[in-house]
Amino acid sequence: MLYPLKFSPILKDKIWGGTKLKTLFNKPATSDHLGESWELSGYEGDESVVTNGFLAGNNLAELLEVYMGDLVGDRVFERYGHTFPLLFKLIDANDNLSIQVHPNDETARARHDSLGKTEMWYVVDADPGAELIIGFAHDSSKEEYSQAVERGEVERLLQHVPVQRGDVFFIPAGLVHAIGRGVVVAEIQESSDITYRIYDYKRKDANGHERELHVAQALDVIDFAASTRPKTPYEPRLNEPVTLVSCDYFTTNSLRFDREVVRDYAPIDSFVAYMCLEGAFDIVCEGEKTPVQRGETVLVPAAINEVKLVPSQPSALLEVYVQAK
């Protein structure tokens, strides 16, 4: 019988990474440049491995091969087959990330035999004055953008958005974006690692080389329209879910709770993932408890229809599933 599954984080050092994933979430960093913790991944070569229960030691791809719709939902399995559709990350930007854009499904499939990359960010932590780059400040064009790239002035066309903890941003494929220094985000995205870098501040890697840019590839996928509402508005509430983002690829709810909450997932026919951002709680189903701490991500298989969330202290999580299409 399937049960709530916990996984080992997949840690990735980055040129722009820092130490906050260790200090905030107790990730077992081995350097001071931990940029990403892949919390739940079926991406080929980076499949998450179960750490709890009788399935410990199995990776997500192996589970999907065996349990199929019982793991992800019949409808999700029909749509994605043996590909786990989403990738969950925690990201620490100790320095500015490259300015980048992602292709949509159609372009990614044609060029890379991959899913596209629509994603969202939930700001977990932000230094005073921290900001993100979200789209263009005004309507632009290929010509204006190309000239700015040639002059190294692309930043001036883009919208710089001050951020604070709890801010939410939806990043559809085609939207130019970047995480600024001093920001920690939880990222939910399609299971893809296709990124087109368009500017990287002329940084050099450990070998003294500037990282590859993808200016020509990016040109055909960029949305040049102004980003008029960069932040996703929502009204925080206690002890009930609040929808942050709902799109073709995922629905993400915020859930803050200081008492027991019952969640009924029978109508959605999808797996559910919890990213615990604050506090600690137990997932109770079929009389069994699965303890969850801050910084852990848990997969609730689709075969589980109802759970109780019982906090041992006030808690906050992101609840993610794939909406019917």
- Among the listed residues 171, 146, 176, 173, the one whose alpha carbon sits nearest the alpha carbon of residue 160: 176
Dist CA 103 CA 196 (whole Å): 8
Whether the Cβ atoms of residue 171 and residue 120 lie closer than 8 Å to each other = yes
**Placement of tokens 């951002």 in the chain:** 277
- Our CA angle for 28, 29, 33, nearest 5°, is 160
Whether the Cβ atoms of residue 194 and residue 118 lie closer than 8 Å to each other = no
Burial of 234 (0-12, 13-18, 19+ CB in 10 A): middle
Q: Show Cβ contacts of residue 113 under 8 Å, excluding neighbours closer than 6 positions.
A: none
> Three-state SS for 138?
coil
Dist CA 232 CA 226 (whole Å): 15
Whether the Cβ atoms of residue 117 and residue 111 lie closer than 8 Å to each other = no
The pair of structure tokens assigned to 313 is 């202290």
> Three-state SS for 105?
helix
Of 75, 111, 181, 197, the active-site residue reads 197
H or E stretch covering 150: helix 142-151
Whether the Cβ atoms of residue 281 and residue 258 lie closer than 8 Å to each other = no
Q: Tell me the C-alpha to C-alpha distance, in Å, between residue 22 and each of 9, 124, 244.
A: 12, 14, 26
Does 197 qualify as catalytic in the annotation?
Answer: yes
Dist CA 264 CA 46 (whole Å): 31
- Among the listed residues 5, 29, 3, the one whose alpha carbon sits nearest the alpha carbon of residue 17: 29
Indicate which residues carry an active-site annotation: 197
